[in-house]
Copies of this chain bind each other. A is one copy, B any other.
Amino acid sequence: MTVTTDNFSIEAAAAALADMRATRPLVQNITNFVAMTISANVLLAVGASPAMVHAPDESADFAAISSSLVINIGTLSESWVDGMRRAILQMNEDGKPWVLDPVGCGATPYRTAVAAEFARLSPAIIRGNGSEIMSLAGASGAGGKGADSTARSEDAVEAAKALARETGAVVAITGATDFVTDGTIVVAIEGGDALMPLSTALGCALSATVAAFAAVRAPFEAAVSALAVYAAAGAVAATDLKGPGHLPAALCDALYAIDGATLAANASIRVEAA
């Protein structure tokens, strides 16, 4: 596919959403313990079919029947990394897309090493916050504060471009403004709400959503579409909330109900550089 700026619009995102729902892709999640329930619920609400299958004894067999895969290293350990590696290799062998979420990259040497190894294994898309992307790109020593970002998303755009060129992956940085790049074109997505970082693992569940869209679109369009849908749903969900407590449930309701009009009213997509 030739990527042009025509690929990125609210209309294109709405069409990708419709196709994804019609396909109901089976998305394999090898993700962290905190993110599992909300990831599954987000995927079900938006219209995909989630499965959590991580064991080395079966992760590749399951990858063989999955439409796409998300690898999230939030609570990694040795046997999980083994299971992740096997699933990744199967997806690559079958030519199916997988998404890398390098949670906390930069926080410990182990985590950084695993993230870097996986980044070299041809993920279709890498999604992280500013600190994680900068760390993974080797662009900074951004120490990281757990899964929270200490860098703004805009500060990581150059690192993201470098990381995209180095790995061949589309790179998405999420924050107050989201950015997606293939190393050349940069697309910005606006939406969401300031409450979102105060509810755990919503970024992880977004990575899972990106994987769902990657089952029906090329990586760049998939990432932009998923981020726009999520940004709009987050904005809708946060309306009338008094705090972050009910946000996960409200987000699922918003994802379940979202349509083209709601998407257009609550998110925007613009091509920043080409």
CB A254 to nearest CB in B, in angstroms, measures 8
**Would you call B245 and A198 a contact (CB within 8 A)?**
no
| Count of chain copies | 3
User: For window 218-274 of chain A, which residues contact chain B by CB distance below 8 Å?
Assistant: 241-246, 248-257
Could you tell me how many residues of chain A have their Cβ less than 8 Å away from some Cβ of chain B? 64
Q: Which 5 A-B pairs have the closest CB atoms?
A: A51-B146, A245-B252, A243-B253, A245-B249, A243-B256
**Would you call A44 and B198 a contact (CB within 8 A)?**
yes
Chain B residue at minimal CB-CB distance from A257: B243
User: Can you list 29 pairs linking A and B with CB atoms under 8 Å apart?
Assistant: A26-B145, A26-B146, A33-B52, A34-B37, A37-B200, A40-B200, A45-B243, A45-B245, A49-B145, A49-B148, A51-B107, A52-B74, A52-B75, A53-B75, A53-B104, A53-B108, A53-B146, A55-B76, A58-B109, A65-B143, A77-B79, A77-B83, A243-B257, A244-B256, A245-B249, A245-B252, A245-B256, A246-B246, A248-B249
Given contacts A49-B148, A61-B107, 16 further A-B contacts (CB under 8 A): A41-B199, A41-B244, A50-B200, A51-B104, A51-B107, A51-B146, A53-B108, A54-B77, A55-B110, A58-B109, A242-B257, A245-B250, A245-B251, A245-B254, A246-B249, A249-B249
**Would you call A253 and B246 a contact (CB within 8 A)?**
yes
- Taken together as a complex, chains A and B put the C-alpha atoms of A246 and B244 apart, in Å, by 13
Give the one of A51, A75, A256 with max B CB within 10 A: A51
Q: With A44-B200, A53-B75, A65-B143 given, is the CB distance from A252 to B244 under 8 Å?
A: yes
- Taken together as a complex, chains A and B put the C-alpha atoms of A79 and B56 apart, in Å, by 12
Contacts of A242 in B (CB 8 A): 253, 256-257
Binding site for B on A (CB under 8 A): 26, 28, 32-34, 36-38, 40-41, 44-45, 49-58, 61-62, 65, 74-79, 83, 104, 107-111, 143, 145-148, 197-201, 241-246, 248-257
**Would you call A62 and B251 a contact (CB within 8 A)?**
no
- Taken together as a complex, chains A and B put the C-alpha atoms of A242 and B79 apart, in Å, by 40
**Would you call A55 and B77 a contact (CB within 8 A)?**
yes
- Taken together as a complex, chains A and B put the C-alpha atoms of A56 and B110 apart, in Å, by 10
Q: With A26-B145, A58-B111 given, is the CB distance from A52 to B65 under 8 Å?
A: no
- Taken together as a complex, chains A and B put the C-alpha atoms of A253 and B199 apart, in Å, by 11
Contacts of A104 in B (CB 8 A): 51, 53
Contacts of A52 in B (CB 8 A): 32-34, 74-75
Chain B residue at minimal CB-CB distance from A43: B200
